[in-house]
Chain A
Amino acid sequence: EDQVTQSPEALRLQEGESSSLNCSYTVSGLRGLFWYRQDPGKGPEFLFTLYSAGEEKEKERLKATLTKKESFLHITAPKPEDSATYLCAGPLGTGTASKLTFGTGTRLQVTL
């Protein structure tokens, strides 16, 4: 079964300590990879779409990159307000069975 796997499950950073979150998937050459941010008790907030290997997108302290097998969400000099769960998702399956499949997320905590 096609899967989306995120690591680490949880990450604790100090303010200003840069790091990366990983999203890997079983389908090679995935076309379309989405990153979302979710705060506790709220719905996921759309961040980025990446469509092809080598593509990069940035938003404030976040940069998302895509290879043929995985995606990274790089967080540069994070602040406490970046604390949230970060979800990635990809359209797995083929034809009419294709659907957006989510990973379990990385729970990020940024402390002072």
Chain B
Amino acid sequence: ETGVTQTPRHLVMGMTNKKSLKCEQHLGHNAMYWYKQSAKKPLELMFVYNFKEQTENNSVPSRFSPECPNSSHLFLHLHTLQPEDSALYLCASSQDGDPHNEQFFGPGTRLTVL
């Protein structure tokens, strides 16, 4: 595997379900990010982890819970989601958490909440 990988690629869940998104980066980076991409809107930064420490929580509802066990892996745990949470969820990584560094993205997870 190379670059940034995400699983699953597609997910359909009910509002009462609990699911998790997984991201893995093979670039030797120390920062990882979760973004939400909705139609007609710019990418919204959700969470930032730098050297496994969460450094940004961009006012994200508690029904989204991130986990970063090491610099290569990032999870987004989902529970009690709403239909408006349906979107493309993108993971990215960069050398460190400095926003002047290039970020490299995974293919995304297309989430549909029924």
Contacts and interface: CB of A to CB of B under 8 A. Distances in A.
Interface of A: 4, 31-32, 34, 36, 41-46, 49, 87, 89, 91, 96, 98-105
A102 B42 contact: yes
A43 B105 contact: yes
Given A89-B43, A100-B103, A104-B40, 17 more contacts: A4-B42, A31-B100, A34-B103, A41-B88, A41-B108, A42-B108, A43-B4, A43-B106, A44-B43, A44-B90, A46-B102, A46-B104, A91-B99, A99-B45, A99-B56, A99-B58, A103-B42
B99 A45 contact: no
Interface string B13-43: 0000000000000000000000000001111
30 contacts: A4-B42, A32-B99, A32-B100, A36-B105, A41-B108, A41-B110, A42-B108, A43-B4, A43-B6, A43-B90, A43-B106, A43-B107, A46-B103, A46-B105, A49-B102, A87-B43, A89-B43, A91-B99, A96-B55, A99-B45, A99-B56, A99-B99, A100-B45, A100-B99, A102-B42, A102-B43, A103-B42, A104-B40, A104-B41, A105-B42
Contacts of B43: 44, 87, 89, 102
Contacts of B108: 41-43
A99 B50 CA distance: 13
How many chain B residues sit at the interface, stated as a range, is 20 to 34
Among A32, A34, A44, A104, residue most surrounded by chain B Cβ atoms (within 10 Å): A44
Nearest to A34: B102
Contacts of B6: 43
Nearest to A5: B42
Contacts of B58: 99
